[in-house]
A and B are shown apart, each in its own frame.
Chain A
Amino acid sequence: MNLAPLLVEILQIAALIGLAPAFVGWVRMLKCWSQGRTSAGLLQPYRDLAKLIVKDVVLAENASWIFRFTPYLLFGSAVLAGLIVPVLSIDLPLAPAADIIVIVAIFAIARFFLALAGMDIGTAFGGMGSSREMMIASLAEPAMLMAIFTVSLTSKSTSLSQIVQVILDGQAMLRPSIAFAFIAFVMIALAETGRIPVDNPATHLELTMIHEAMILEYSGRHLALVEWAAMMKLFLFVMIGIAAFAPWGIAAKGDLLAIPAALLIMLGKLALVGVAIVWIETGLAKMRLFRLTEFLGAAFLLATLGMISFFILD
């Protein structure tokens, strides 16, 4: 039995679980630098998670099993998606388990349970977060599907490993459809991961929260898992974007020696993406909730334009 793919999977999971907090730390550091503040350091998210894991859990009296199960499900679905998205190499034995539509659906089931957990305790803030989150999700889904469709037209596949393979083989030329799909994907990724201009991850005002409002009642190790899952979701969306649009550097099938190089290239790309995220976050303000219809509608329109341009120029 060939152990190389198994080794790749283990390395990839270690990279995902280990590096996701560092990526969030990097983004926060850059944000502080750009705002002239002193940052807490690259490793601060690790310290936060370690602190939360050790602390006791305080549960509301009427919390049900859904509230207690959701953090584990969020973590589990993020790790499962990490087993499938090509981060270091496309030689993943679990890659046939899910194509990109399934990965989006795995995030959807995580969001479903998070919204239920928000409604579980019976506070007004939790319900508000759940309601807003489901609205944003319902607007982002058509745009996401159109972007996926446009990307899959070039590579004739929705399997991420296959998309990476086609681009690495040099069979995909740069087309306007890919550019449109890329811009649409960036807008959708901002919506799905809850960054400015959709949701402010650092806000303390409950009435402006969307993701944080659903997790207000969590504490201790549950909160650690939820936060970690959110960091992994951001990491994975960046990885999906890199795999679909700029995968050069990902190791090919059976090429174990290229993995350290792939890791270094991945770190470089993450650093650049961090700069881009901070540039967007400091440049834009958070949008009003009902302006998001226009924002996500624009993403849908761009993806559709990409698809039309593929058929016209083909």
Chain B
Amino acid sequence: MSTTPLDLALFSLALFLILAGVASFARCGQRFLITGAFSLATLASLLMVAAGVWAVGGNCTDRLVLAIGLPDLPFHLRLDPLAGFFLTVIGLLAVFVSIYSIDYVKGYLGRRSITSLVVFYCLFLAGMFMVVLADDALFFLVAWEVMAAASYFLVMFEHEQMENRRAAFLYLVVAHVGAIAILLSFGVLAGFAAGFGSFEGYTFDAMRQARLPVEWATVAFLLAFFGFAAKAGVVPLHVWLPEAHPVAPSNVSALMSGVMLKTAIYGIVRVGFDLIKVFPWWWGAIVLTLGLISAVMGVLYALMQHDLKRLLAYHSVENIGIILIGIGLAMIFTSFELPVLAALALIAGLYHTMNHAMFKGLLFMGAGAVLHATNERNMEEMGGLIHRMPWTAALFLVGCVSISALPPFNGFVSEWLTFQAFLLSPSLPSPLMKLLIPMGAALLALTGALAAACFVKAFGVTFLGHWRGVHRPQAHEVGWFMRVGMILAALTCLGLGVLPTLFIEWMDILAEQLVGARLATSAGALGWMWLTPVSHEQASYSGFTVFVGILVVVLVAYLFLHVKPGAIHRAPIWDCGFERLTARMQYNATSFSMPIRRIFGYLFLVREQVSLTPQPGHKAFPKRLRYRLRIRDRIWGWIYKPLVELSFWVSRQVGRLQQGRIQVYLIYSFVTIVILLVFMR
């Protein structure tokens, strides 16, 4: 019996679970536990990547039925190309973050016990892999819960502070509201698969065979989309993301932002394209619209932030929006039976999934390195770190350039493919779609430009200039394991940007299975260097040429100018001759984003307050200037606060039943017994 990719995946999964178990009871020193556990986690993730790459490349579909689970409801596992793709995405980032964690978690030694971090880290990864491998509703939801619970404990790792506990609680509430919606959706699908009386329909295979009437299919899809959107952080269900991601340890934030949100995307693609194969166009329109709103609002929220990790968390909202744009377009094109265009949009969305995992993981790892070195998360207190942490700065810069969708890195390839998918919308038969979809393209362009502005701010304020804070810490470069984790992620970003045709050829089988057409026939038509998604007259891009071209010209210009170079003198800052420049005169995060805040600020609740205390006797000379800026999310006030008040009101009304006297409770019991005896014979 030869090995299948599923065997590799199961072995890796078993390794994670055993590691979690052993780590909880291990009696070894904490330092050894860190090195050993994360090295084994790296190995297990590598095996998972191998399984995923094999499954997609070889177009394998393997199944397994495990006798665990409820008596008549065993767990079904299935590794098909879609699952293999997501295993690769999750596994690859897990490899990099596990290497990074070997040094990062050592920063907690002495302050607290890291055993719970190690245990729940392994359980978290295992949960995510199980979600992707699940082939029935029960196993899917069990794995979903494992993932949510493990990440809750990871977010709560530093539980002494009240904000961390509140953030974790909010995360748990939203995750479970989403899980209820997913459960109901699977219930609807399973009910129509085998009747609402039996449990036979709970396997995904049964759901695939089911014939649902359009109304119930809509209900099932909308419930599933709501549930997965809550996990993915789509506006307006995004409120937990910027609370939970910053308070978690940075390696966990990297995983949560990079890959946990992708399991929700996996869920949407699985339910939409695999379980419910035929759908009307307006489902895709809903997905596209919510994707656009998330993209624009996410980046605008991010621009208002001065906490580095919160900024990165809001950018995850934006990028999930971009992924949903691709998937929404794919759904629209599929419903109008244009499979080649749908393949382009789907590949764009899935490519962005991989890209986002890579560059968001890199950025969070970089933010973790900065936090590790300076103990500071507030950008407005930082600056000048490029001189003390050159490696971290360079690698963070790679992440910044990638997320701003700039060539030759990977973010640009997926945005370019999404733009090409938008530009094909004139092929749609509906005139309303033809007019409205290009507006979406303009919003995507706005998002990309605002993201670039935000990352100039993030990188510039954190690493460039002078130190803006009061107490200057002894920041030093981070250890080699952290650097290697980041270097590998950065190299993957460059590789995905410069060699997109190879990656698209590998994942093309997904497009064929989900929408029925391949892209690679045209994508690689001119050879491996040129990406021509539709035809080479329409549009083409060669990341390799752009990269090599810029390098060659830079080199030639450098050589020309250094034939007889003038000397370089170091001198104090010129600053147009203005003297006495202090570090406080630099632009910081709030001032950098002021123009954009002025223009787009009406979307938020912005309150600015300036109060000036003059010197006694001289009204014109200020003694103290106080500037207060408060920016609030309107969605809290519109949606969440009313819901919270409603739930408290309902609880108070129900609380009226608690009279506190035993006679009343006895009457309740008596009435219930009478009802049961009389009406439920």
Chain A residues proximal to chain B, CB less than 8 Å: 53-66, 72-73, 75-77, 79-80, 83, 94, 96-99, 101-102, 105-106, 108-109, 111-112, 115-116, 119-128, 130-132, 134-135, 137-146, 149, 152-153, 156-159, 162, 206, 216-217, 220-221, 225, 289-290, 293, 300, 304, 307-308, 311
A122–B385 Cα distance when bound, in Å, is 12
- Asked if B583 CB lies within 8 Å of chain A CBs, one says yes
A53–B598 Cα distance when bound, in Å, is 40
* B573 in contact with A105 (CB, 8 Å): no
A146–B539 Cα distance when bound, in Å, is 16
4 additional A-B pairs beyond A55-B566, A101-B416, beta carbons within 8 Å, are: A64-B387, A64-B464, A127-B587, A311-B434
Within 8 Å by CB of B401, from A102, A112, A137, lies A112
* A102 in contact with B407 (CB, 8 Å): yes
Size of B's binding interface in residues, CB under 8 A: 87
* A216 in contact with B576 (CB, 8 Å): yes
- Nearest CB in chain B to that of A63: its residue: B570
B93, chain A: closest CB distance, angstroms: 25
- Asked if B134 CB lies within 8 Å of chain A CBs, one says no
- Nearest CB in chain A to that of B455: its residue: A112
* A158 in contact with B538 (CB, 8 Å): yes
Given A120-B465, A122-B583, A61-B572 contact (CB < 8 Å): yes
A63–B464 Cα distance when bound, in Å, is 9
What are 23 A-to-B residue pairs whose CB atoms are below 8 Å?
A: A66-B397, A94-B549, A106-B407, A116-B464, A119-B587, A122-B583, A123-B581, A126-B587, A127-B460, A127-B465, A127-B587, A130-B460, A138-B446, A141-B445, A142-B443, A145-B419, A145-B441, A146-B442, A158-B423, A159-B537, A221-B561, A304-B439, A304-B442
- Asked if B586 CB lies within 8 Å of chain A CBs, one says yes
A142–B442 Cα distance when bound, in Å, is 4
Given A60-B573, A72-B554, A141-B445, A311-B540 contact (CB < 8 Å): no
* A137 in contact with B449 (CB, 8 Å): yes
- Nearest CB in chain B to that of A83: its residue: B549
A192–B144 Cα distance when bound, in Å, is 48
A307–B591 Cα distance when bound, in Å, is 37
- Nearest CB in chain A to that of B575: its residue: A123
A75–B449 Cα distance when bound, in Å, is 21
B532, chain A: closest CB distance, angstroms: 8
* B587 in contact with A73 (CB, 8 Å): no
Given A108-B406, A217-B574, A149-B423 contact (CB < 8 Å): yes
Given A96-B536, A97-B546, A101-B416, A307-B456 contact (CB < 8 Å): no
- Nearest CB in chain B to that of A13: its residue: B553
Within 8 Å by CB of B445, from A62, A112, A142, A293, lies A142
Residues of chain A with a CB closer than 8 A to B550's CB? 73, 76-77, 80
* A152 in contact with B423 (CB, 8 Å): yes
Kindly supply a per-residue 1/0 record for chain B positions 446-470, scoring 1 wherever the CB is within 8 Å of any chain A CB and 0 otherwise.
Answer: 1011101101110111001110000
Kindly supply a per-residue 1/0 record for chain B positions 383-412, scoring 1 wherever the CB is within 8 Å of any chain A CB and 0 otherwise.
Answer: 110110000000001000100111100001
- Asked if B1 CB lies within 8 Å of chain A CBs, one says no
Given A66-B464, A112-B456, A115-B460, A58-B583 contact (CB < 8 Å): no
A121–B573 Cα distance when bound, in Å, is 7
Residues of chain A with a CB closer than 8 A to B537's CB? 156-157, 159, 162
* B438 in contact with A146 (CB, 8 Å): yes
Within B462-497, the residues touching A (CB, 8 Å) are: 464-466
Residues of chain A with a CB closer than 8 A to B593's CB? 131
* A158 in contact with B539 (CB, 8 Å): yes
* B542 in contact with A60 (CB, 8 Å): no
- Nearest CB in chain A to that of B573: its residue: A60
* A57 in contact with B595 (CB, 8 Å): no
B620, chain A: closest CB distance, angstroms: 21
- Nearest CB in chain A to that of B422: its residue: A149
Residues of chain A with a CB closer than 8 A to B565's CB? 221
Chain B residues proximal to chain A, CB less than 8 Å: 383-384, 386-387, 397, 401, 404-407, 412, 416, 419-420, 422-423, 426, 431, 434-435, 438-439, 441-446, 448-450, 452-453, 455-457, 459-461, 464-466, 526, 530, 532, 536-542, 545-546, 549-551, 553-554, 557-558, 561, 565-576, 581, 583, 585-587, 591-596, 598-599
A80–B550 Cα distance when bound, in Å, is 6
A145–B545 Cα distance when bound, in Å, is 23
Given A162-B537, A217-B573, A145-B549 contact (CB < 8 Å): no
A300–B449 Cα distance when bound, in Å, is 15
* A138 in contact with B453 (CB, 8 Å): yes
Residues of chain A with a CB closer than 8 A to B583's CB? 122
Within 8 Å by CB of A97, from B404, B549, B596, lies B549
* A134 in contact with B549 (CB, 8 Å): no
B322, chain A: closest CB distance, angstroms: 15
Within 8 Å by CB of A57, from B464, B567, B599, lies B567
Given A97-B540, A105-B406, A131-B571 contact (CB < 8 Å): no
A132–B565 Cα distance when bound, in Å, is 34
* A130 in contact with B569 (CB, 8 Å): no
Residues of chain B with a CB closer than 8 A to A119's CB? 456, 460-461, 464-465, 586-587
Task: Give me the 4 closest cross-chain CB pairs, A-B, nearest first.
Answer: A127-B587, A122-B465, A119-B460, A134-B453
- Nearest CB in chain B to that of A135: its residue: B595
A293–B435 Cα distance when bound, in Å, is 23
A135–B571 Cα distance when bound, in Å, is 31
Residues of chain B with a CB closer than 8 A to A108's CB? 404, 406, 449, 452
B330, chain A: closest CB distance, angstroms: 20
* B570 in contact with A97 (CB, 8 Å): no
A122–B549 Cα distance when bound, in Å, is 31
Residues of chain B with a CB closer than 8 A to A216's CB? 574-576
* B571 in contact with A128 (CB, 8 Å): no
Within 8 Å by CB of B595, from A62, A121, A153, A290, lies A290
* A76 in contact with B553 (CB, 8 Å): yes
* A122 in contact with B442 (CB, 8 Å): no
Given A96-B530, A97-B542, A123-B585, A134-B456 contact (CB < 8 Å): yes
Given A122-B466, A157-B539, A131-B594 contact (CB < 8 Å): yes
Residues of chain B with a CB closer than 8 A to A138's CB? 446, 449-450, 452-453, 596
Residues of chain A with a CB closer than 8 A to B460's CB? 115-116, 119-120, 127, 130
Given A55-B566, A122-B383, A80-B446 contact (CB < 8 Å): no
Residues of chain A with a CB closer than 8 A to B406's CB? 105, 108-109, 112
A308–B586 Cα distance when bound, in Å, is 45
* A75 in contact with B570 (CB, 8 Å): no
Residues of chain B with a CB closer than 8 A to A142's CB? 442-443, 445-446, 449
B522, chain A: closest CB distance, angstroms: 13
- Nearest CB in chain A to that of B572: its residue: A61
A15–B465 Cα distance when bound, in Å, is 38
Residues of chain A with a CB closer than 8 A to B397's CB? 66
* A206 in contact with B407 (CB, 8 Å): no
Residues of chain B with a CB closer than 8 A to A105's CB? 405-407, 412, 416
Within 8 Å by CB of B456, from A60, A75, A115, A311, lies A115
B380, chain A: closest CB distance, angstroms: 13
Within 8 Å by CB of B587, from A75, A130, A140, A308, lies A130
* A75 in contact with B566 (CB, 8 Å): no
Given A97-B541, A102-B407, A146-B442, A56-B567 contact (CB < 8 Å): yes
* B464 in contact with A311 (CB, 8 Å): no
A300–B566 Cα distance when bound, in Å, is 46
* B539 in contact with A79 (CB, 8 Å): no
Given A72-B557, A97-B549, A123-B586 contact (CB < 8 Å): yes
A126, chain B: closest CB distance, angstroms: 8
Residues of chain B with a CB closer than 8 A to A94's CB? 545, 549
* A97 in contact with B530 (CB, 8 Å): yes
Within 8 Å by CB of B572, from A57, A60, A145, A307, lies A60
